[in-house]
Structure 1
Amino acid sequence: MPASPSTARAINDRLALSLLQQEGPLTAGQLKQLTGLSRPTVADLVDRLAVAGLITVVGESGEQRRGPNARLYGIVADRAHLAALDVRTGGVGVLVSDLVGRVLAEASVPIGGDTGTGPAVEQAVAAVERTLKRAGLAAAPPREGVRARGRLHTVGIGAPGLIDPASGDLRDSGGLPAWHRSLAAALQERLPGARVTVENETNLAALAEQREGVARDRDTFVLLWLGHGVGAAVVLDGTLRRGASGGTGEIGFLPVPGTPSLPSAWDCDGGFHSLAGSAAVCSLAAEHGLPVPAAPDGPAAAEVIRAAVAATAGEEARAKGRTADRAGGRAEARADAAPSGAAPPADRFLHALADRIAIGAASVVAVLDPGCVVLGGEVGQAGGPVLAGLVEERLRRMSPLLTEVRASTLGGTAVLRGALLTARDRAQDELFAPRDRN
Structure 2
Amino acid sequence: MPAAPASPSTARAINDRLALRLLQEEGPLTAGQLKKLTGLSRPTVADLVERLQDAGLVRVVGEAGAERRGPNARLYGIVADRAHLAALDVRLRSVSVTVTDLLGAPLAEAAVPIDGDTGTEPAVAQAAALLERAVRDAGATRLHTVGVGAPGLIDPGSGALRDTAQLPAWHRRLVTVLQERLSATVLVENETNLAAVAELRVGAARDRDTFVLLWLGHGVGAAVVLDGALRRGASGGAGEIGFLPVPGTAGLPSATDCGGGFHALAGSAAIRALAREHGIEVPGRDGEGEPAGALAVRTALETGADAFLDGLAARLALGAAAVSAVLDPGRVVLGGEIGHAGGPALASRVEARLTELSPLRTEVRASALGGAAVLRGALLTARDAAQDDLFTPPAPRAPR
Instruction: Tell me which residue corresponds to 1:250.
Output: 240
Q: Give how far 1:308 is off.
A: 1.4
SS at match of 1:97: strand
The answer as to whether partners of 2:55 and 2:394 remain within 8 angstroms in 1 is no
CA distance in 1, matches of 2:209, 2:283: 38
Counting only pairs closer than 5 Å after superposition, residues 184-223 of structure 1 correspond to structure 2 as: 184-191=175-182, 193-223=183-213
Alpha-carbon distance in structure 2 between the residues aligned to 1:200 and 1:135: 26
Q: How does 1:30-429 map to 2 (within 5 A)?
A: 30-137=33-140, 150-191=141-182, 193-297=183-287, 298-312=290-304, 346-429=305-388
Cα distance in structure 2, aligned partners of 1:3 and 1:377: 46
Alpha-carbon shift at residue 172 of structure 1 (Å) = 1.6
Cα displacement (A) at 1:281:
1.4
What one-letter code is carried by the residue in structure 2 that aligns with 1:182?
R
Range that drifts further, 222-231 or 258-267: 258-267
Q: CA deviation at 1:183?
A: 0.8
**Contact 2:269/2:292, CA 8 A, preserved across alignment:** no
**In 1, Cα distance between the equivalents of 2:396 and 2:118?**
51
1:384 Cα offset (Å) = 0.7
What is the Cα deviation at residue 425 of structure 1?
Answer: 0.3
Q: Distance in 2 between matches of 1:188 and 1:280?
A: 37
The 2-side partners of 1:402 and 1:188 are apart by 44
Asked whether the 8 Å contact 2:252–2:260 carries over to 1, the reply is: yes
Distance 1:361 1:174, change over 3 A: farther
Q: Give the CA deviation at 1:428.
A: 0.6
C-alpha separation in 1, matches of 2:70 and 2:341: 51
3-state secondary structure, aligned to 1:64: coil
Find out whether 1:18 has 2:21 as its counterpart: yes
Give the superposed CA RMSD.
1.2
TM-score by length of 1: 0.87
What is the alpha-carbon distance in structure 1 between the residues aligned to residue 89 and residue 127 of structure 2? 11
Tell me if the contact between 1:52 and 1:437 (Cα under 8 Å) persists in the aligned partners.
no
| One-letter code aligned to 1:306 | R
What is the rounded CA distance, in whole Å, between the counterparts of 2:246 and 2:150 in structure 1? Answer: 25
Distance 1:288 1:257 in 2: 21
Counterparts of 2:65 and 2:368 in 1: how far apart (Å)? Answer: 34
* Residue identity in the other structure for 1:379: I
Would you say the 8 A contact 1:175–1:267 is kept in 2?
A: no
| SS at 1:394 equivalent | helix
1:303 deviation in Å?
2.2
Offset at residue 112 of structure 1 (A): 0.9
Q: CA deviation at 1:431?
A: 0.4
Report the CA distance between 1:57 and its aligned residue. Answer: 1.3
CA contact (8 A) 1:209 1:414 kept: yes
Secondary structure of 2:69's counterpart equals coil
CA distance in 2, matches of 1:55, 1:436: 15
Secondary structure at the aligned position of 1:264 is classed as: coil
Q: Which moved more, 1:365-374 or 1:280-289?
A: 280-289
Question: For 2:211 and 2:65, how far apart are their aligned partners in 1?
Answer: 40
The SS at the match of 1:57 is strand
SS of alignment partner, residue 172 of structure 2: helix
5+ residue gaps, structure 1, are: 138-149, 313-345
* In structure 2, distance between residues paired with 1:304 and 1:51: 57
Q: Report if the CA contact (8 A) 1:92-1:124 is conserved.
A: yes
Larger mean Cα displacement after TM superposition, 174-183 or 301-310:
301-310
Provide the rounded CA distance (Å) in 1 between the counterparts of 2:65 and 2:299.
Answer: 48
For residue 42 of structure 1, what is the amino acid of its counterpart? V
Letter in structure 1 aligned against 2:146: V
Residues 1:186 and 1:67: Cα distance change in structure 2 (over 3 Å): same
Gaps of 5+ in 2: none
- Once the two structures are TM-superposed, the CA of residue 91 in structure 1 deviates from its matched residue by 1.1
Shift of 1:388: 0.3
| 1:50-109 per-position Cα deviation (integer Å, ceiling 9, x unaligned) | 111001111222333322222211110100000100011011111100000001001111
Residues 106, 131 of structure 1: 8 Å contact kept: yes
Deviation at 1:300, TM superposition (A): 3.1
Would the aligned equivalents of 2:195 and 2:377 in 1 still touch at CA under 8 Å? yes
In structure 1, the residue corresponding to 2:385 is in which secondary structure?
helix
SS in 1 for 2:29: coil
Q: Is the 8 Å Cα contact of residues 109 and 124 (structure 1) preserved in structure 2?
A: yes
For 1:230, the aligned partner's letter is V
1:174, distance to aligned residue in structure 2 (A)? 3.2
Contact 2:51 2:394 in 1 (8 A): no
**Percentage of matched positions with identical amino acids:** 73
Q: Which moved more, 1:396-405 or 1:255-264?
A: 255-264
- Maintained 8 Å contact 1:86/1:158: yes
Q: Summarize deviations over 1:117-148 as a string: whole Å, max 9, x none.
A: 111111110111111111113xxxxxxxxxxx
SS at match of 2:187: strand
1:368 aligned partner, one-letter code: L
Counting matched residue pairs gives 392
Instruction: Judge conservation of contact 1:111–1:120 (CA < 8 Å) in 2.
Output: yes
Q: Deviations over 1:393-426 (max 9, x none)?
A: 0111101101111101101100000000000000
- The two structures have a TM-score, normalised by structure 2, of 0.96
